[in-house]
Structure formats: C-alpha cells, structure tokens
Chains A and B, each alone.
Chain A
C-alpha cells in the first residue's frame, strides 16, 4: 500500500515538474521521476502477502523440480510485473539517453535549453 501511494505521488510530482519547468533538462528529470513512480506502482501490483522473490530454490521449496513450483505457490510474489519492470527500466534508460542526446543537439543549435527560446518552432 505504501509503495503504491509513493509511486502515485512520484508520478504526480514528475508530471508537475514536466508542466511547470521550461528547461529541457528539468523536463527530462521529471520524466525519469514519472518512470520511477510507474515502476513502483507495477511492483506494488505484483506483491503477494508474505511473498519472497520468485526464485524457486531450496529456501522456498525443497521438492524435486517437477513439484517445486506447486509448493512455492504461496511463498513467492507475482513474477510477471517483475519481468515487466525489468523491461521498463532498460527502455527508460534508453529513452532518457535519447532525450539527453536530443537536448545536447538542441543546445548546440540554439545555445539554450529553455524551450521558450525556440519561439519560431511553435505551431
């Protein structure tokens, strides 16, 4: 529950950073904050009460492999949100890198990273 609320608050904080600030670097920071918040929300959805990491070794279930999963059912958290977050972290890293590269290119082009200095590109 705490993780879910923290994640939602981080999403709201990130969105407000992106809306209030005009510096591109700060908007990118806002994006990463939203990203982290979404990861927290997904992980919170996958939590099962009293569960541990979904790695089925002797600590979770000592049965032979064919039956190990059945015994572990009540002791592990949902593996699918964990896998989704694993994907999302990597994609978030790549997209943040791409945005930063674009910011570098823009600052070389116009000597500024403030979006209000690029009036001619408004619609």
Chain B
C-alpha cells in the first residue's frame, strides 16, 4: 500500500516537473493544450468519483478555454456574484478564487504566490487572492473585459480585483449589498445589478429583449438546478449517504459558477440520481460538518478522517440558501439571492445557519478550517465555535492555509485532529444529543 502511494507520488512529481512547472502563458492560449486537456478529461484515465463531476469538469474546461480564446466577453467575478447574471447575458464568467484552488491542486501555487510577494503583496493577505494575482501578473489568466465584485463575503475580492483592474486597464464594478433587513434593500441592490447588467449586455451586444430573455432562461435553469440540489441535500441527511465532504466540497464551484447554465441542472440531476442508486454504505461512521474550505493541495486531513471512520457529511458552502427566483423579475430575484446568503452582514446569520446545518445533518462534531488571511471566516470562528458548543456540537478550530502548501503544518495539524477525533469517539453520539 505504502509502496503504491510512493509510486503514485513519484509519478505526480514527475508530471509536475516535466509538464506543469513548464507551463507558460502562451501554453494557456494554445489550442493543442486545450485539445489535450479536454481529451484527457474525457478519456478513461480520468475516473471521477461521481458521474456528475464529468459534467462540471467539462463545463469549466469549456468556459475557461473560451475565456482564453476570447469567444465572448470575459467577466471576472467573486463567489457571491450570481453566475446567472453573467451567463444569462452572454458573457463568460471567470472566478479567480476558484482558479487559485485549481492551481493549488496542481501544486503550482507557491510559484504564483511568490510572484505576488515580489509585486508588494503581503504574506498576511489571503493566499487565494495572492495566488490569483500572481497568475495575473505572469499573464496566466484570461484577460477580463470587466471585473465584477460583490462586497461580500470578504474584503479581499473587491480589493484584489481593484489591483487587477489597474493591471488590465479594465473597468471594475463593485456591488454594495445593504445590510440584511434594511428597508428597500432589494430595490437598492436590484438597481445596482441592473446597472451592472447593462454593462454586461453592452459587452455582449444584447438588446433589451435579448437581455430579458437571457436572464429569464438563466434563472429558470438555476431554479431547476436548485430543485435537484435540494434532492441531493435530502439524500445527504440520511445516515447511510455515500457522498463524502472531501468530494462534495469542490461543488462550491458548481454552486457559484454553473447556475444559469444547462450544466448546473445536469450536474445536480446526475448527482441526485447516483446518490439514490448507490444507496446504503452503513451508517455507523461519525458524522462531521466542515466549515470554510479545505486545503486544495493535500488530502491528508481526509485520510486521517477515513482512518478514524469519520465522514464529512455536510460543508458550509455547498447549500442553496435562497428561495426559488422569479424569471420575470430577474433583478429583484437575484438581489434576494445575494442578500439571503448567510455570509452577508453580521455573524449571527452565519452562526445560526451552521447550527441549523449541524442539527439537520445530525453531525457528531464540526471542524472550522481557519484559512490564514481570511478575516471574515477566521474572525468569527471563536463565536461560531461557541454557538455550536451551545448546541451540543464539539468543534475544532484548525489553523492552516487552503492554497499555500508551505503553510501546512502537518505534524501539529494531525496531532490536534487525532486528539479531537479520539475525544469525539468517546463522547455521546449526536442522535442522543438531538
């Protein structure tokens, strides 16, 4: 087993040294590169855990390729910008934060993070953004026609996009989301979205009618996708559900970047179907909730969880927390979608969302991964922990970095995690607590 793992690590190391480290900006713009990557993604060599993963992979590869080849106006967006707005208006969304996760998974993040440090960015800032900016400085990212940010979940997105806007000489639109519960919040936000939509429609050359139809269609597709996602959520609440958080965590990219496209519908439809078909695997494992994101360059934490018979049954960021949208009222609907996100506004919404998730998914414990430089998340971790403890959910705060593997303290992290899991195993089960 160990020999096989070593062999695999050696192979990956060789691939990285021979191919990945030699990637250049021109490679990203070469047809041969994309033909090869898309071919590999379709080939039997690529064996994803779930059929649905093929759909999302295909969607993102196609969209990213199109962005490099400028087959439509490219709009950079952060995670809370509704993808329906961009897709519905005939633009290609590009998510630099997601790109950083991909770069980290490929083991390439240190090179780009170092580049951003040379450019003056402090190591105390979020490595998702530093990595993306480093890629941008080296010319690795598709040039935007417009940058669009929502002022949540964090400050880093509007701030780092402002740098990118200077770098590319491209306009940057920031959407100010009013605090939850404010009178006229929907209208004020909808007005800003409509303003942004006109800019996007201007880029893609859409008429007012095209714009209305495109948005209505995107919202309808988004609603369909969320209906399937609700089925997935229902299935995952079963004690015997086979979808593990280590695979499901990546679905944040689908939730943020695919809604409004046929791929979003197909992804969640296939996932729900397959979950129903695969059925039971036995419900004796301890159940965990994962908060914030995972380190994208290593599966080590999940190997430890597997060894202890512990499964991540729900993740903070992979749920739809908005009501079905009205395709005839795109801007108020999209405004409500953004406003209802639990990361908008004070922490109490996030804490209460997490306590509800913990109850609904009957978790035995929770882990909050404190990504270095993430003020919105780490800043509230102590209070989230307190809220979960009050609800009877033992919670571990693990310090680390999602993107920069050099900040991953393997020994310290494993020791804390193992101790937490031991204590969890000896404590009362969640069923007894709820």
Say whether A associates with B: no
User: What is B's interface to A at a CB cutoff of 8 Å?
Assistant: none
User: What is A's interface to B at a CB cutoff of 8 Å?
Assistant: none
